[in-house]
Amino acid sequence: MSDVAPYEGRVALYFEDQPEQVQAIQDWLRVKLGLRLVQATTLAEARSSLSSQKLDLIILDIRIRDDEPGEQGGMQDWTRCGFNFLKDLREGKFGGLTPHSIPVLVITCVVNTADVEEILDAGNTSGGRCLYLAKPVRLDTVERAVRYLMA
């Protein structure tokens, strides 16, 4: 018997600031897995999604442009915005969430090995599960990563 829409009714947040990056993955995961994606393009939208609905997965870009003030009072460093979101998630800084309860799939164009290690270290703390895929990604690879994380 085939595994038709195994994640029907489940929801993933896709935190990505470039909508054109989301559409193909959104369509693929809906058709192949029945997974519904909610998109956030800013840190405020991502935080709102975390507090307003039960999420089963987070798909995350690390390099996200955002106008929210950073720690130094200036604009958030766009190369770290997604990383800071991941770190805050795992440290339990989003009220009401168990930090490790939501698996995270990072899809980004980071090419520095040290940065990839830092992402995976942050994402896999507190018992959390995190995988990293480098852009550009194949849709079937994204599907396999989602199946692994949600198993």
Say if 5 falls within a structural domain: no
Contact 48, 94 (CB under 8 A): no
Say if 114 falls within a structural domain: yes
Host domain of residue 140 = 11-150
96-134 pLDDT, tens digit per residue, is: 666 667 999 999 987 688 888 988 998 998 778 999 999
pLDDT the model gives residue 18:
84
Question: What is the pLDDT tens value at each position of the chain, 151 positions in all?
Answer: 456 789 999 999 999 988 888 999 999 999 999 999 999 998 889 988 888 888 999 999 988 876 555 554 444 566 678 888 898 888 888 766 666 679 999 999 876 888 889 889 989 987 789 999 999 999 999 999 999 999 9
CATH of the domain at 128: 3.40.50.2300
Question: What gap in Å lies between CA 92 and CA 73, rounded to an integer?
Answer: 23
- pTM of the predicted structure, to 2 decimals: 0.88
Q: Characterize 92-104 residue by residue with b for buried, 16 or more Cβ atoms within 10 angstroms of its Cβ, and e for exposed.
A: eebeeeebbebbb
Say if 45 falls within a structural domain: yes
Number of domains in the chain: 1
Smallest CA-to-CA distance from 11 within 58, 78, 44 is with: 58
Say if 135 falls within a structural domain: yes
Contact 150, 7 (CB under 8 A): yes
Say if 47 falls within a structural domain: yes
With both helix axes pointing from N to C terminus, report the angle between 43-52 and 81-90 in degrees, rounded to the nearest 10: 30
Q: Quickly count: other Cβ atoms within 10 Å of residue 91's Cβ.
A: 12
pLDDT the model gives residue 91:
85
Q: Quickly count: other Cβ atoms within 10 Å of residue 43's Cβ.
A: 20
Identify the sign of the CA torsion 39, 44, 46, 47.
negative
Say if 28 falls within a structural domain: yes
Say if 3 falls within a structural domain: no
pLDDT the model gives residue 39:
94
Say if 1 falls within a structural domain: no
pLDDT the model gives residue 51:
84
